[in-house]
């Protein structure tokens, strides 16, 4: 048995180039998807609209795992080389208004010192709940300056 085992140092360069790391390819698809979702979430938040990042991430991981487990073991290597493990996934429903329930808007008053003056800032947070999984989202709205007081 010891004769059959090879360490990575003993693998010739030609074979090393042909080796495909399955785990890294699946992780790369996940990383690409998460970047795409984060960009969409940021766009929605800048426009003052909610976006359920948690649901999108969970559904993508389920779809990827489902596609992976449906594929027979012998065909997984060819699937990976053809880059078919990436499921087609639409992220538009995760920013749909009908997906969320408005909960409340709350204010947080913060006192800061600006050039020796005490200034009150009011920051508004809007809270939503996702109707599908019950995820709670809190979005920060623009902060406003309220009063000027000498320290």
91-107 confidence digits (pLDDT tens): 899 999 999 999 998 88
113 and 134 share one domain: yes
Domain coverage including residue 49:
10-95
Mean pLDDT of 6-17: 62
| Distances, alpha carbon 87 to alpha carbons 3, 37, 65, 91, in Å | 40, 15, 10, 12
29 and 89 share one domain: yes
How far apart CA 98 and CA 91 sit, in angstroms, is 14
73 and 105 share one domain: no
How far apart CA 54 and CA 60 sit, in angstroms, is 10
What is the count of structural domains for the chain? Answer: 2
The reported pLDDT for the residue numbered 109 is 86
Q: Do the Cβ atoms of 125 and 141 come closer than 8 Å?
A: yes
59 and 121 share one domain: no
104 and 87 share one domain: no
Is a pLDDT exceeding 70 seen at residue 136? yes
Mean pLDDT of 14-43: 75
The reported pLDDT for the residue numbered 102 is 92
The reported pLDDT for the residue numbered 76 is 62
| Distances, alpha carbon 114 to alpha carbons 3, 124, 142, in Å | 73, 20, 18
24 and 55 share one domain: yes
80 and 110 share one domain: no
89 and 150 share one domain: no
88 and 112 share one domain: no
The reported pLDDT for the residue numbered 10 is 63
pTM of the predicted protein model: 0.66
How far apart CA 139 and CA 125 sit, in angstroms, is 5
Q: Which of 46, 140, 44, 61 is CA-nearest to residue 99?
A: 44
Write down which residue in 73, 95, 117 finishes a domain.
Answer: 95
**Assigned domain for 3 exists:** no
Band of residue 3 on the pLDDT scale cut at 50, 70, 90: very low
**Assigned domain for 2 exists:** no
């Amino acid at each position: 048995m010891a004769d059959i085992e090879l360490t990575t140092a003993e693998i010739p360069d030609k074979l090393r180039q042909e080796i495909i790391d399955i785990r890294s390819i699946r992780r790369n698809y996940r990383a690409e998807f998460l970047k795409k979702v984060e960009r969409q979430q940021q766009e929605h938040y800048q426009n003052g609209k909610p976006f359920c990042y948690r649901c999108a991430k969970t559904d993508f991981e389920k779809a990827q795992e489902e596609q992976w487990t449906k594929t027979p073991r012998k065909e997984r290597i060819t699937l990976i080389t053809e880059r078919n493990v990436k499921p087609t996934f639409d992220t538009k429903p995760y920013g749909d208004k009908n997906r969320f329930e408005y909960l409340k808007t709350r204010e947080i008053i913060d006192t800061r010192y600006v050039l020796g003056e005490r200034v009150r800032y009011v920051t508004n947070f809007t809270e939503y709940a996702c109707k599908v999984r019950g995820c709670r989202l809190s979005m920060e709205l623009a902060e406003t300056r309220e009063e000027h007081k000498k320290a």
